[in-house]
Chains A and B, each alone.
Chain A
Amino acid sequence: MTSLRPFHAMDVFKFNPTNLDPLTETYDLNFYFTYLAQWPHLFNVAEGADGTIDAYIMGKTEASPSYMTFSEHYLPWHAHITALTVAPHARRLGLARTLSQSLEHSGDEYDAWFVDLFVRKSNKVAQALYHGMGYSVYKRVLDYYSDDPTDETKDGEDAYDMRKPLTRDKERKHIRKNGESYAVEPHEVF
């Protein structure tokens, strides 16, 4: 069964099915509660038959500060996927797609231009998922990650900043073609 509900603060005691997976980071409580305090409507859980947390998504809405308005890296009001995780037992059910769509829906409700996220350049599975959902690469952030799980000899890995335009962006002005070849340094990313 698939059922969505808002993440409740007490869920930090129940998210081991997702967070014991080595690909999911367990942060300091401050991190989760910052999102709950500011964007509770963008923090949702997919619940299993017996109330198990099968997956969750954390997101936020934001824009670059006003002093960056004329910078080429200025980010207009948009929704951002901070974390999206699916427990191993609940994979291949389409939950990542379902949760992403719920965040896109909220992005539309809050008048965002687009939804964006960062994904490792090596994570082809995730990129394929997002491509299939209408996301495209907007830019490549050089050495955004401090490690490279596919190559222990490397100290870092690039990230793709992927975007999906929302209803507000009728002219599709916040996406671009061949974003893979548009490289920026990490300090240029807000």
Chain B
Amino acid sequence: MAGLNNADAETARVILSDIENKHFKHALTKVDKKLKKSDSDYFKALQLLIKAHLGQVSEKAAILLHLEELVLSKRILTDLNAIQIFDETLELILPKPGENWARIIGNLRWQLVKALPKDVDAGRACFRACLAKEDYEHARHIANSLEKNFPGTHEYVFWNITTMFLFSQCHDYPDKERTLYGALAEGMMRKLADATIKAADSSSLPTRSIHKVQEFRLMDTILKNGNPEKMNPVRLKYLQDPFLGPDSTIAKGEWQLWRLKLELLKKDPQLLFQTTSDLLKRARTKNENGEITESRFSDWIVWKSYIDSALLNKSIYQGEVDAEIKAHLDPKTGIDKSWRRNASLASLKFALAPVSAFPSNEPESKANLIVDYLQRYGDTNVAYTDLRTVIPFLTSQDLDWLLTTLIENSNESSEALPSQSQTKGTLSPLNQDTATAIGIARLVNVFKLVFLLTSSLPESQRRLSREQSLQGKKTMAKCSKCSTSLFDPYCGLCLTELAWTTAKSYGLAINDDGRITSTLLLTDLHPADDLGILAAMCLVKLSVKDTPAALNESLDHPAICHLLQAAVLLEYAWSHSKANSQISLMLTRIYYSLGCGSLALRAYKRLGVKQIQNATLSHYMFDGISTFHPHPFTSEETSESRSIIEDLKDQLKIYRGSPKQISNKIWSSFENNNYNTIFELEQVKKALAYNVSAVMSVMESRKVSRVVQPNAPLTASSHGYDILREFERLANKMAIANVNQATDIDDPEIKFSDQNDHETIPNFEVLEDESPLAYLGRASRLKMPLPDRLHNDILADKVRMIVDPTTDPVSRGSSRTWLDQSLSSIYEEGEEFYAIANILQGVQSFDKILQGQLTEKLNEIDILGSGSAPATRAVLHTLYVTYDIGTTVSRLKAYLHKTNSDIKSYSSLDLGEQLVKTVIAKAALIKHSLDEGGWIDKVLSSVFQGDVDVVVDDASVPGTWKSVVDENFMEAWAGQVVDSWKDSVKGFAYFNSQ
């Protein structure tokens, strides 16, 4: 309340106290009384604020009009406190004021700064407020004013440039202006950089020059945004300058500058080689105290650039590269092991890269290089990840040699077992070192490599050969290990054998009478975990070749059987290594596919997901939950029920709270002159605003509500829908761009943000999309990727809102308006709700389309598993989706009837009721079947009998199971699976034919 006299300040305090205590009428009386005596902007603002608190919708419109008139009157308000109250008032009547804020409050703030240009506090406060509302236009004006009126303040120069650049990046402003301010920011930055170079002395830099590395990085970000052909040479020029570049005083050793420089040097391989060669020498040079102080120059980025540039002219650089690698690997050099590993990997890459003129053509030499690397680093988990990057360079002949060598070396006494005919030998768990943590770690890497060589790496080659074969161009490929002709893209026989061999080794390692397990803390991981995970991965891979169709089948079908086997193995592994999140992630996905909702949730909860992890990991459990387990889960510990809606509501907190937090940190970055952080934070803000996981949570919550609370009306904003307005706006923009095939389709502003984590779940394949777990996710959930599916979810939600008799008129009206405006441009054909929406819009031709789709649904339900089939995810999904469609079609019929439409023209509408009845009958059948006894025995039989012909170290699969998983554990687990299936079908109780 600065600026008020003591008496006014006291009055204001009393009024504000009344407002805080919600005594609005008292406050209004006092403020009216005060305004009779004086014409104060501050008290006028308070009056408006109180009215906004008290006001109904019509009064709020009047308040908005009043605020707009303030701007139109062109009277300049110089009372910052009054503007802040007006700001609060606008926020109250329009929770998301959007462009109204810039037009009204942003304008008032800028006018105040213009009127009081020397008031630095007001300037900074208004600048901060404009930034928080992304009103970059007024923020730009204010930053410019600060720079001009405080010419001795170095930071305002950069505030101005940063704000101009932010403006230029915001698609809400006209292109012409954006281009202009982008160019201005670039030009100003270059002048500042040139001033630093000209000064040539960091102790006497002029105000208008680059002083700090953060300012240099701002310049690089701005230049990088320009045309690469034109700007990259400029960026490189500054990075090579001794007064600005990575070795300059201002750089303060910032490593990122070297990263930028090496990236830009790629265009000049000779210079890149020379630069990286110098850096690697510095990395191993000791100072006068005998210490290595620049070891960071052994970074993989340096080695990779060094090797890549050398490979372009290997004959010239061979000797120099070999010497450098040798020097780094020499223990006497004293380089830390984390950096030394880079030299080893560089050595491999240099020798194995395709352009390599390897000195010997004997394949075993190349295989031996891999084996040598394994000997050095095989006791670390990352050895496999490192080698996975170079193994694709090997030829088929090399791979054969490597496979043989690995198998022979892994069996401590390979002669103990006779090789099977035509095979390259067999992994023999009984002959492997599973007694020590290091031995197990080495074994894990060998098994993963065997997996890669026999069932993963050649997959793409085999797929190609199969395609060629189908075209009659070539004969079928043969398995590189057992020579079987391949019909699948990998050898099922070898993969099955590997699964059980790995499982057996895991059993030997884990059932150790406490040798290793007793030494582990609760938070430690067991060294053998990856053996269990790999065995389970092989089983999942065997399963997915038969999904999704097989997920409707009985328990003895290989697809179900392999998933059950993987689940029990992982559950057993988890019981020995509870901190292993990869096991829990895999279990979540497998149980989800099996239809075991409560077990999937149990595995998910073990992850301890919190805060931002809700935005990246929740899709594993909650994507599609409404058609999987819409009913409440019962806690194992407390036996209390918890609604899914509560879980989803918790997830939305991250999206509600973060924008304000991030805005505060953007301001903090300005204050601390860390300009690059500003752009990074802006990226996070957008990623959260347009996040597909947020939309998923809202949509699933609304769908769950419709199932479990069918009589509770939804509004246009319930279940968090209000936070999706930004998303919806983008969806429309994106669709219009799609329809028009607009050139700005690549514009990041019209892309949804998918930050779901697909990488943390285990994957031993070369490519992510070949991961069996990713495939399982796609097969057992929903056919389209989440971002695409959400378009249809929004459309379906609007349709439900319109036809649902409980919807309030306002929400129905807004949904109808949305449909009128968006349907023709947004959604792909082929979805039932697209057809329903078109019928709702009176497009008669969709009747036939919908009829076909509904008939197909009836057939799907007809063939859906029952009797011997459990309620897998695929079964549950089909039932819930069909019920939803049937209900909506029935409601559509009623709605059209009520609105006097000609429903006789739409014969498809008669199928709605039939669909619902069919679903209910099928659900009853499945539930009845599960209520019958014998399911535990069926599960155990499936787990024991699958792959019964496989023999590992003379033991069959049942024998192997006995050596891996304790029998009591297995039985208890089977009981949990059956209980989980019984819990999953409880949701059928919500099906209602009324």
Contacts and interface: CB of A to CB of B under 8 A. Distances in A.
Contacts of A34: 665, 668
A1 B522 CA distance: 29
B665 A36 contact: yes
Contacts of A33: 661-662, 665, 677, 681, 684
B9 interface: no
B297 to A, nearest CB: 11
A28 B615 CA distance: 13
Given A16-B757, A41-B254, A49 B386 contact: yes
B434 to A, nearest CB: 19
A69 interface: no
Contacts of B256: 5-6
B944 interface: no
Nearest to B762: A89
Given A1-B342, A16-B613, A37-B674, A23 B684 contact: no
B617 A97 contact: no
B680 A2 contact: no
B968 interface: no
Interface stretch (A74-82, A100-108, A180-188): A100-108
Contact of B674 (A38, A44, A106): A38
B579 interface: yes
- Counting chain A residues whose Cβ lies within 8 A of the other chain, the interface size class is 35 or more
Contact of A1 (B337, B379, B386, B668): B386
Given A16-B613, A29-B661, A41-B254, A95 B338 contact: yes
Greatest chain A CB density within 10 A among B338, B385, B684 is at B338
A34 to B, nearest CB: 7
A13 B661 CA distance: 16
B299 A50 contact: no
A33 B677 CA distance: 9
A143 to B, nearest CB: 21
Given A30-B665, A90-B381, A101 B684 contact: no
A1 B613 contact: no
Contact residues of B: prevailing secondary structure: helix
Contacts of A95: 338
Contacts, number: 170
A13 B253 contact: no
Contacts of B293: 105
Given A34-B668, A38-B668, A41-B252, A9 B684 contact: yes
Given A33-B662, A37-B674, A20 B581 contact: yes
A93 B581 contact: no
Contact of A37 (B296, B385, B668, B684): B668
A97 to B, nearest CB: 6
A140 B301 CA distance: 40
B613 A37 contact: no
Given A13-B687, A40-B674, A29 B253 contact: no
Contacts of B687: 10, 13
Interface residues of B, number: 69
A147 interface: no
B345 A22 contact: no
Interface in B354-395: 379-382, 385-386, 388-389
Nearest to A17: B760
A73 interface: no
Nearest to A44: B255
B575 interface: no
Contact of B300 (A2, A101, A110, A149): A2
Contacts of A94: 336-338
Contacts of A22: 523, 579, 608
B696 to A, nearest CB: 15
A109 B253 contact: yes
B252 A109 contact: yes
B578 to A, nearest CB: 8
A92 B437 CA distance: 12
B341 A16 contact: no
Interface string B820-851: 00000000000000000000000000000000
Greatest chain A CB density within 10 A among B252, B345, B580, B687 is at B252
A9 B214 CA distance: 15
Nearest to A43: B677
B382 A40 contact: no
20 contacts: A1-B386, A2-B299, A3-B299, A4-B296, A6-B255, A10-B683, A21-B581, A26-B610, A28-B611, A29-B611, A29-B658, A29-B661, A37-B677, A88-B525, A88-B579, A93-B380, A93-B382, A98-B336, A105-B296, A149-B522
- 4 smallest CB-CB distances across A and B, nearest first, come from A9-B680, A94-B338, A20-B581, A37-B668
Given A3-B301, A52-B759, 5 more contacts: A2-B338, A2-B341, A13-B615, A22-B579, A36-B674
